[in-house]
Homo-oligomer: A and B are copies of this chain.
Amino acid sequence: MSKLILQKKISEYIIELSLNRPEKLNALTKPMWKELGVIFKKLSINKNLRCIIIRGEGGKSFSPGNDIGEFETERSNSKQSKDYGKFLHSTLAVIISCPIPTVALIEGICVGGGLEIASCCDIRICGQSSRFGVPINRLGLTMAPREMQPLINLVGKNVALEILLEGRIFNSTEALQKGLVSRIVPDNDVEKEAYETAHRIADGAPLVARWHKKFSKEISNNEKITDKINDRGYECYDTEDFNIGYKSFLNKTKPKFKNK
């Protein structure tokens, strides 16, 4: 049996995960959600890792979402779907809470559950012909609140609601305008741009990246930042990597960070 999720080392610091069901455009199944969560959880505690890329295998599709064929046996009523949801939501939660920067490499279709995974990543890079949407109003089912939250965090309530109420499939230009993707590149360059992005991240100080992810979660729009939270912003100045970083800048050399 082939693996549900492929793992590939791109560099010492970058790992790539592929949703591996290309014959079905990488439609997601319950075991795939489960496996993706298990792998992400393991990677999350790897202190050496600096970037995780996630993509669909085969180069033609990120994912069209959850496999409708499973509904009969796995999601035919609220009880079953709650059990399905448990895996789905815990996997999304693991991606969201991952301290390592994440990049969604989006080729082709990125719909439904596929779009949910991409929404939980930090950066989303897609090709010109990519297509997006959540056409579940025609399936008669809702996106659960724990799936809607990352989408709302990404594009706001109004855009999220427009996507869900209409159930329309739309192109990459509209996805960019809606804030759903970080950038669009020609179809043939998606892998190249995503890898370059991962390298840009991995070339930076890894502790800094983790701090920034952490800070972004701690900051609320309207609340005053406490001294306790703000003072974490000074810890970097006592790291070896800070010394490497600013001295490399002054010496016009490329810094080689040590993650300490």
Report if A122 contacts B (CB, 8 A): yes
Q: Are B139 and A249 within 8 A (Cβ)? A: yes
20 extra interchain contacts, Cβ-Cβ under 8 A, other than A140-B255, A142-B208?
A: A77-B237, A122-B162, A122-B165, A137-B201, A140-B245, A142-B235, A145-B232, A147-B233, A149-B219, A153-B158, A156-B179, A158-B179, A160-B216, A161-B213, A164-B212, A165-B212, A165-B213, A166-B197, A176-B177, A220-B221
- From B68, B138, B235, B249, give the contact of A138 (CB < 8 A): B249
Which residues A143-163 have CB closer than 8 A to chain B? 143-149, 152-154, 156-162
Q: Within residues 126 to 146 of chain A, which ones have a CB less than 8 A from any CB in chain B?
A: 136-146
**Does A242 reach chain B (CB closer than 8 Å)?**
yes
Chain A to chain B contacts (Cβ below 8 Å), 29 pairs: A68-B246, A69-B250, A75-B237, A78-B234, A78-B235, A78-B238, A122-B165, A123-B162, A123-B166, A137-B205, A138-B204, A138-B248, A140-B205, A140-B236, A140-B239, A140-B257, A141-B208, A141-B236, A143-B233, A145-B218, A145-B232, A153-B158, A156-B179, A159-B182, A161-B213, A164-B212, A165-B212, A166-B197, A166-B204
Partner of A221, one of B75, B153, B159: B153
Which residues in chain A, 71-119, are within 8 Å of chain B measured between CB atoms? Answer: 71, 75-82, 85, 89, 101
User: Chain A: how many interface residues by the 8 Å CB criterion?
Assistant: 93
- B140–A242 touching, CB < 8 Å: yes
What per-residue 1/0 map shows which CB atoms of A201-226 lie under 8 Å from chain B?
A: 10111001101110111111110010
